[in-house]
Structure 1
Amino acid sequence: MPVCPHFIAGQCRSCQWLEMPYSQQLDEKKAHLVQQLVGLDLSQLEWLPTYPSAQQGFRNKAKMVVSGSVERPILGILSNPNDPQSAVDLSDCLLYPSHFAHIFHQLKIFIGRAGLVPYHITKRKGELKYILLTESQINGTLMLRFVLRSTAKLALIQRELPLLLANLPQIKVVSLNIQPKHAAILEGEEEIFLTEQKQLEENFNQIPLFIRPQGFFQTNPKVAESLYGTAQQWIKNLPISNIWDLFCGVGGFGLHCAAILQEKGRNVQLTGIEISPSAIASASSSAEKLGLTQVKFQSLDAANFALVQNERPDLLIVNPPRRGIGKELAQFLNKLQPHFILYSSCNAVSMGKDLRELSRYQAQKIQLFDMFPHTAHYEVLIFLKRIDDKFK
């Protein structure tokens, strides 16, 4: 198990289960998942082995609260969100790749040179609120975002940026996100790019994906790659020609499924729905690079889209936020009756409630993916088939 000095000192408890043996963590998560399925017909359900994670260095993204002073910035967390004196520097956090520590050191120097005064919560003064750093696993390139209260320091940032990029040439995307509100909101609507490149390329299972600001992307790429690959394998031999991917994000699930079916000579239509325009832009780039022509990604509310459709997809993919798909959409799906449903969830409690509403469907396969080691959180993928469906 990783030995974390911040956990031992009681400074950071984000990894609540750090002292629990990893095998026990996986057992606890499996037991919790089983509990959420009590009362469902599991007579046809195949349980696949839990997919584990590396225990440290697995995150591709760091979200760092900036505190301290401009001369001595602190990148990490506030153990008390309303007390800047409770700052804990997590530049050496074991969840990040070890080389992130050098990057954070360079960013602290940059903060001083650009005069980016950390935002002081109680005084409501200062400019720099967060630093967001994301890395592509295929080539090690980085996206760097500064969350600022205003554009007041834009000229100074532009002046100092060339030196930062010379010291850290792996940084390919830099942007400023403007979040002027005094509220616990990570980012604002305005994004100002300071580099010509605006996205990072990623690749899971030979499927190109793109990471952009304000677009959700899984933070544990190795486990996410297995999650998408598993979905692809589960559906590759099924008679599918029309796919809906609701809450599609950057299109990981839908693109994996459409690509494998096209490989097998199927004429597949894919419709992806996601509220984030940034994520939709990424998904569209991926489809173009894959040469998928019968694909339509749209920036819409997923539930609102589905509830007004008349056509029926063969395969419906849902990867909802923690609240799940909800009773209204679940009951609509009972009436719409797609042949198959792939449901990916980061909250098994809401998923269990949704499965009880999906009364026309029976669970066929399930697998737990440990996306978030040392916490109670996990991802789960379940495959459902319409009860009276003739397809096997």
Structure 2
Amino acid sequence: MLTLPLPHCDYFEAGRCRSCALIEVPYVTQLSEKERRCHDLLPQVPVSRWLPSVAGGVADFRNKAKLVVGGASGTVTLGILGRDGEGIDLRECLIQEPGIRDAIPHLAAFLDGTGLAPYDVPARRGELKFVHVTLAPSGELMLRFVVRSEQSLHVLRKALPALLALVPRAVVVSVNLLPEHRAVLEGEREEMLLGSSLDMDLGDVSLHLRPQSFFQTNTAVARALYAQAAEWIAAERPGSIWDLYCGVGGFALHCAAAATATATATAATAAAAAVDSGAGSGASAAAAPRVLGVEISASAVESARRSAADAGITAEFIAADATAFALAADASDVPHTVIVNPPRRGIGPALAAWLEAAPAQRVIYSSCNPESLATDLAAMPSWGVRGARVFDMFPHTTHLEVMVLLERQR
């Protein structure tokens, strides 16, 4: 994959879009620079503990498009806005998965047919703000229209049959109302027009995504990220796990499944050995780990619970602030292993101090910001790094995901 030629991007060459700032840099150079950055920021990680990086691809890798609606009523653009507020159409963007790229022209035709006007940011008038498109591995789509007013909601609701005729793979459709003139991607109110959640089948586990759910933007790299955490968990076989900032349960569910499978296999091997020696005749029940996910979003927690039930995985999920939950916990309830997957700001001083003092024995820290990870690890000197890996979730940019396995040293 590293030697594949980079895609030729007409948008970048013409200066129309610079989102993929590194698209003209050889991919092997992009990845090696991200590795160097992480190594420099995390000097406490021995070179031998770095696993081979997971490459993210050079094209067709993004499973979600956040498209700004521009242009004019009847001739919308879907892409980004230029500095002057002009809509820049990016329907042929090569980093989107093909299923998204195929849907964008049909979405533009649908919006043209509604007669709704794109929102004019400088003039602060208009209706259509964004279209968010998420693609599942099955090819099914979740569509989310962000609009300014109740009237647009009514128009889109009435036009749903026309939308489904143009985009038949859409299984979840919602409208988000954002009446304010703010530089945000969504408002608080979400109205469902079709379905409730998108099934992201990752192989071992399927995750249910709702319109406001967070999920990694690169499905192949997300699979590798969850698989790495599950491998570390299976090797340790902890009796209890907390997944803080669990979102829709990706880490918790993959790790619970891996730990249970390992325990079952171990029990079966022990039982077989007992039979061979004449000491017994049956396999003992496998001890499933106690898994708890904590996430502030109630809708994400509901999705995680549904995914656990569908997969037959024993795991509990609660809606709470991760830091407040940990700080309020009794020492006797602290698990063997804590998984954290915080936003870019990191876990922060309070949770880092709690982990430094808590009786937990392992931490898996997945970070989308190596700078905040370095700051947090500096506040946790009692922890040593047993393993680390770079996951290139965001090719052609400086962004990345890095995950470390920590072990208490003292």
Per the shorter chain, which TM-score range? over 0.9
Give percent identity, aligned residues only: 43
Task: Report the equivalent of 1:12.
Answer: 17
* Greater C-alpha radius of gyration: 2
Q: Secondary structure at the match of 1:10?
A: coil
- Which of 352, 360, 365 is the equivalent residue of 1:338? 360
- Contact (CA 8 Å) 1:92, 1:98: kept in 2 or not? no
- Give every structure 1 segment of 4 or more consecutive aligned residues whose post-TM-superposition deviation is greater than 6 Å: none
Q: CA separation in 2, counterparts of 1:331 and 1:30? A: 27
Aligned to 1:189: 188
2:152 aligned with 1:156, yes or no?
no
Q: 1-side partners of 2:300 and 2:82: how far apart?
A: 31
Change (3 A) 1:25 1:362: same
Q: Which residue of 1 aligns with 2:234?
A: 236
Q: Which one of the candidate residues 307, 312, 321 is aligned to 1:301?
A: 321
RMSD after superposition? 1.4
Query: What are the Cα deviations for residues 298-330 of structure 1, in whole angstroms up to 9, with x where unaligned?
Result: 221111111111121111000011111112211
* Residue 170 of structure 1 pairs with residue 166 of structure 2: no
CA contact (8 A) 1:317 1:341 kept: yes
Q: CA deviation at 1:98?
A: 3.0
Q: 2:105 aligned with 1:105, yes or no?
A: yes
Match of 1:270, SS?
Answer: strand
Indicate conservation of the 8 Å contact 1:205/1:229, yes or no: no
Preserved contact between residue 315 and residue 338 of structure 1 (Cα < 8 Å):
yes
TM-score, normalised via structure 2 length: 0.90
Partner of 2:39: 34
Out of 215, 218, 223, the position equivalent to 1:217 is 215
**How far 1:337 sits from its partner (Å)?**
2.5
- Shift in Å at residue 350 of structure 1? 0.6
From 39, 45, 69, the equivalent of 1:66 is 69
Aligned pair count reads 380
Residues 206-231 of structure 1: CA distance to partner in whole angstroms, max 9, x if unpaired? 11111111110111000010010011
**Which residue number corresponds to residue 145 of structure 1?**
144
SS in 2 for 1:84: coil
* TM-score normalised by length of structure 1: 0.94
Paired with 1:160 and 1:44, the residues of 2 have a C-alpha distance of 57
Check conservation: 1:53, 1:223, Cα contact below 8 A.
yes
Higher helix share: 2
Where does the alignment leave 5 or more consecutive residues of structure 2 unmatched? 1-5, 264-285
| Secondary structure of residue in 1 paired with 2:122 | coil
Aligned to 1:255: 253
In the alignment, what sits opposite 1:245?
A: 243
Q: Residues 283-307 of structure 1: CA distance to partner in whole angstroms, max 9, x if unpaired?
A: 11111112223x2212211111111
1:43 deviation in Å?
A: 5.0
1:84 aligns with 2:58: no
Distance in 2 of aligned mates of 1:115 and 1:154: 13
Counterpart Cα distance in 2 of 1:154 and 1:324: 36
Aligned to 1:289: 310
1:115 Cα deviation after fit: 1.9
Shift of 1:250: 1.0
Q: What are the ranges of 5 or more consecutive residues in structure 1 without an aligned counterpart?
A: none
